[in-house]
Amino acid sequence: MIDRTHDLSIARQAKVLNISRGSVYYKPRPVSAEDLVLMRRIDELHLEYPFAGSRMLRDFLNREGVEIGRRHVTTLMKRMGVEAIYRRPNTSKPALGNKIYPYLLRGLKVDRPNQVWAMDITYSAPRPEKLGRHLFGMH
């Protein structure tokens, strides 16, 4: 894509291709040998315990004498494409018995003021620092 021997400067070529100049000069760092060993062990543990997340894998590795933090385990898991398998909330399915209300404005052309009204019943609890200090006995 970028030709370093071209008459057009690298910055101009990057602009023409609509890519950032930083991506032209970027050279990814190779994975260290220690991280490769850790990734291999994380993969083995993941096959044995597919439900284990970064915290549990960190604990397994620490018990084996490997000093590693949860965030580094998370980074390696992301790099490997490994993710803990667990049950996630099923929020897409409506509960049985919930009434589905029809959309009454479908096909209605709104062309004058006050023809359609809306209401939002969202409740947001007030933060104590926004309320009066006298309510909490602070003077």
Average pLDDT over residues 36-60: 96
More confident of the two residues 128 and 116: 116
pLDDT-derived band at 131 (thresholds 50, 70, 90) equals low
7, 38: one domain: no
DSSP category for residue 39: H
Average pLDDT over residues 33-55: 96
Both structure tokens of 69: 């933090």
Give the pLDDT score at 53: 95
Say yes or no to pLDDT of 129 above 80: no
Residues near 71 by beta carbon (within 8 Å), at least 6 away in sequence: 54
50, 71: one domain: yes
The structural domain count of the chain equals 2
Please write down the HEC assignment for all residues of 45-63. Answer: HHHHCCCCCHHHHHHHHHH
More confident of the two residues 122 and 63: 63
94 domain-assigned = no
Give the pLDDT score at 62: 97
Segment 62-83, tens digit of pLDDT: 999 999 999 999 999 999 999 9
Both structure tokens of 70: 């949860």
20, 38: one domain: no
Both structure tokens of 110: 């709104």
Give the pLDDT score at 25: 86
118 domain-assigned = no
CA distance 20 to 11: 9
Segment 94-115, tens digit of pLDDT: 878 888 889 999 999 999 999 9
Look up the domain containing 9 and give its range. 1-30
Please tell me the total number of residues recorded for the chain in this structure: 139
Give the pLDDT score at 23: 87
Residue among 65, 64, 83, 63 at smallest CA distance from 73: 83
Give the pLDDT score at 33: 95
128 domain-assigned = no
37, 76: one domain: yes
122 domain-assigned = no
Mean pLDDT across the chain:
88
